[in-house]
Amino acid sequence: MSGKKIKAILNLRRVKQYGETTLGKLTIEDIDKSWFVLEPGGPDSIVEGSDKRISAGTYKVEPFSGTKYKNVYELKNVPGRTYVLIHAGNYHKNTEGCLMPGKSWGVLKDSHYYVSNSKVALKEIFLEIGKYKEIEIRVTNQLEK
């Protein structure tokens, strides 16, 4: 027996949108921690390369390594989209539809959100979800008006 737990459930609740960015809060069920997540702005999009956030929904998450991003995670079966990754990055220019966690957030003067300490947040999240055989993320829109 590998000792791995069965299934990790991540919840990403999108709470704010500003400029070309969306800010959310990420939690993992049964873990008493949370992180912020930066994504492109809305509306939700199923168009590949649109630089808009993915559609709200539930997705399987699997390990991924490519030429640019190594040892990260990918959301699978995202309608109309491929290579939606969870990777480090602090600013809108670092994402093309991916999820970038951070320890805190702020607003740039050119009207975008940003997250800070992304590599630290990513390491913490990956340490937690690496304990599981299966990983799922549930993305919801609960944007403030």
Instruction: Using the CB atoms, write b or e for 82-113: b if 16+ within 10 Å.
Output: eebbbbbbbebeebbbbbbbbeebeeeeeebb
Confidence of residue 1 (pLDDT cuts 50, 70, 90): very low
Task: Report pLDDT for 5.
Answer: 83
CA distance 137 to 57: 8
In this prediction, residues 103-119 reach a mean pLDDT of: 94
Range of the domain at 74: 5-141
Number of domain units in the chain: 1
Q: What is the pLDDT of residues 75-107, one digit of tens each?
A: 999 999 999 999 999 999 998 889 999 999 999
Q: What is the pTM of this model?
A: 0.94
